[in-house]
Structure formats: structure tokens, C-alpha cells
Amino acid sequence: MAKYFDVHPDNPQRRTISSVTDSIRSGALVAYPTDSCYALGCQLGNRDGIDRIRAIRQLDDRHHFTLVCENFAQLGQFVQIDNDVFRAIKSATPGSYTFILPATREVPRQLLHPKKKTVGVRIPDHTVTQALLADLGEPLLSSTLLLPDEDEPLTQGWEIKERLDHVVDAVIDSGDCGTEPTTVIDFSGGEAEIVRRGAGDTSRFE
């Protein structure tokens, strides 16, 4: 049965956030809110967590997982960015964007696209997510909480607890966070390619 954490959206309770991050460090898979719908998240090296995300979402090995980072300095440890791409991404973060970029050796092999050796990264503009990341001190390995054969991600904490009670370890509820996933921009070829239009404005990349 999943633990249920009720977190204030503007002033996250420090003790509650620490309880969540302690669970993540102990191998928990959590459902948590972001600035563009809910996501499933676990610690970077958590192989069981990765397998569970794949099972819940029925993902194949071509799926791009996302490293949700606290800031740009952290993001830069995990992806290769040239100067032009750096400026483009810097101007759009934090925000509702996921960027696909060539991964560094810091990224576990099982997270990489099998042919491109790329990974998704993002810096969310969400108070609760930022509090989690600051307390955790490392990125959250994440994937949008979009269930198979459903058109929209789950967005209510109580519903997520009800439906995923036996497949996740914790649910963080800080109120509604919308149903639109991130806009995905692929920079792995050097130029911006819009892969998915979502919550982030695409005009700056067109």
C-alpha cells in the first residue's frame, strides 16, 4: 500500500519532504507533481524502479527516460551541451520542457536510447518538485504518469493513490498540477527538433 503525503503547494513541509526523499533513497518509486502533470520517479541507480516504471507504462527500450534536475549545474553533469544549445536551453529553464541530448558517462546505460545514446533532462518550475530535488541532492529518474491506452496523464493525488496503490510506494499530493505534459525538444542533432508539443511554448524553438 502506497504512503500518501499531503504537501503544501507553496510552503512544502520540510519534515514531509525529508520523509519522501528518505523513501526514494531506500528504493521507493513515487508519484509526484510537476509543473506539467504528475510523474513517476525513483533514484537514478534504482534498477527495480526503472523496471517498475516500464511495467506500469508498458514502455519499450526506445523510451526516453528523463532526469529531472534541480538546476543547470546539475543538469550539465549528465548531458553534453555546446554553447548554442546551452543558451537556448538556459533561456527556457526552469519550465515545462524536456530536452533530449547526448548523455555523459554519468548516466546509467539502461536509461539511454539504445541507438542514439541520448537521455531526456529537464528543470521544473514547481515549488514542491524543487524542494524534493534540493533535499535529495541528485536528479530524479522520471517518466510522465501516463497509463497505457489513456489519452491524458493522471493529475489528482487521491486518484493516483486509488489506482496505483499496489504498484507505487508513495504518492505526493500538493493539489492540481494540470494534465498537459512537457514540450519535448530534441537537440541531439545540434538543431532543435520539436518531438512533442505540450505545456511549454514552442515558438522560441521554431
pLDDT tens by residue, 110-121: 888 888 899 999
Residue range of the domain that includes 169? 3-205
The model's pLDDT over 76-126, given as tens digits with 9 standing for 90+, comes to 999 999 999 999 999 999 999 999 999 999 998 888 888 889 999 999 999
The model's pLDDT over 38-56, given as tens digits with 9 standing for 90+, comes to 999 999 989 999 999 999 9
Quote the pLDDT of residue 154. 80
Specify the CATH number for the domain of residue 40: 3.90.870.10
Quote the pLDDT of residue 78. 95
The model's pLDDT over 125-178, given as tens digits with 9 standing for 90+, comes to 999 999 999 999 999 999 999 999 888 888 889 999 999 999 999 999 998 888
Closest alpha carbon to 70 in 17, 15, 29, 6: 17
pTM to 2 decimal places: 0.94
Contact 104, 77 (CB under 8 A): yes
Tally the domains of the chain.
1
Quote the pLDDT of residue 111. 84
Quote the pLDDT of residue 1. 92
